[in-house]
Amino acid sequence: MTTDNHEPDDTGDGDGAGAPQQLRDAYKRKTAENDELKAQLRKVTFDAAGLDPDKGMGKAVAAIYDGPLEKDAILAFAKDQFDYEPDTTDGETTPPPADTDQQQIDNAMGGSSHTGEKKTDAEQIADAEQARDWDTSMALKLGQVLGK
């Protein structure tokens, strides 16, 4: 007596077997990675708007805001819902993030490659990716998206 079983084999033994399980695992990993990147973009955008999404007014806004992740849209929402006006003096005293990014790239390259002229964002991203400094690369790309 033989049993005819025509269901796909998820056990991982044999040619092509286990592929559905591998695809599910890959999907779960990519979904988690996507969620993490969205959370990072949300935090960076709120920070650019002068709101800390973990405390105070920023936490209140973040709890109910479900609009586009754009600095101006978040500020408009905060003004409309909470009469929030950003403190403009903080933005003027904060050094630009490009200097920090350049320092991270220089440190990753094992010395200073800064020649006095400012590198373009594309050059900085290429340098960071060449050095396999993915955090710096992502920070530079987020900066481009946010218009920094």
Instruction: Tell me the pLDDT tens digit for each residue of 30-66.
Output: 999 999 999 999 999 999 999 999 998 899 999 999 9
Question: In angstroms, what CA-CA distances link 120 with 35, 48, 49, 56, 136?
Answer: 29, 21, 24, 36, 14
pTM value is 0.46
pLDDT grade for 20, boundaries at 50, 70 and 90: very high
Among 32, 29, 68, smallest CA distance to 146 is for 68
Mean pLDDT (whole number) for 64-86: 90
CA nearest to 104, candidates 71, 65, 141, 134:
134
Residue 40 Cα to chain centre, angstroms: 4
**54 Cβ contact list (under 8 Å, min separation 6):** none
